[in-house]
Amino acid sequence: MKEDLNKILLTQEIIDKRVQELGSKIDLHYRDKEIVIITLLDGAIVFTADLIRNLAIPLRLDCLRVSSYGNSTDPETAPRILSSLKSDVKGKHVLLVDDILDTGNTLQSVHNEVSSKLPASVHSCVFLDKPDRRENGFKADWSGFSIPDEFVVGYGLDYAGKYRQLPYVGTLKPSVYNNDHLT
């Protein structure tokens, strides 16, 4: 799999250190308040698994499946929440966790939906942020790394469902996606 990569953008060591820092910042923000983490499947599972092991505050974990939608703001094709939460978030402090903030449409939609359930607060934490791609004003409260608009895989991020298990983040060789129609 490593041979499919052009370059490694973020090594495992750099990621580990940053996730620890994020954990400390989030702990400090909430102090000892209990939070509900809502993780967006599938991409955020790796980041979430590491992040929660760096948090000392009490937390409950919930997962949401949101439709893949091709980055559209059109209400017909905008991201749709496909599963329901097991937690009642009313009056709770909610932290949305995702692997990447791209156009911002997914997190904006989930933020709106969760806010409608009257939580005490809603914040968000993303592993990667591509600010150049934003289509709305969405800003994450915590972000691991801001990256340029390059196609990246690893640490939960996929290409055609693959590469999620890589413990680092890299860019794919163009030959991988250009030749895909041949395989």
Tell whether residue 129 is a contact of ligand PRP (CB under 6 A).
no
- Spatial CB neighbours of 82, under 8 Å, sequence gap ≥ 6: 65, 66, 67
Residue 40, interface with ligand PRP (CB under 6 A)? yes
- Contact call for residue 102 and ligand PRP (CB under 6 A): yes
Phi, psi of 94 (to 5 degrees): -110, 135
Question: Which CB, 70 or 90, lies closer to ligand PRP?
Answer: 70
98 binds ligand PRP (CB under 6 A): yes
Tell me how far, at minimum, the Cβ of 70 lies from ligand PRP, in Å. Answer: 9
Exposure string over 74-111, b if 16+ CB within 10 A, otherwise e: eeeeebebeeebebebeebbbbbbbbbbbbbbbbbbbb
Please name the amino acid found at residue 24.
Answer: S
Which C-beta is closer to ligand PRP: that of 35 or that of 106? 106
**DSSP assignment letter at 173:** P
Candidates 6, 54, 71, 121: give the one binding ligand PRP (CB under 6 A): 71
User: Pick from 4, 27, 42, 62: which binds ligand PRP (CB under 6 A)?
Assistant: 42
70 phi-psi bin (left φ>0, alpha ψ -120 to 50, beta other): left
Active site amino acids = 102
Chain residues that interact with ligand PRP, rule: CB under 6 A: 40, 42-43, 68, 71, 79, 98-106, 158
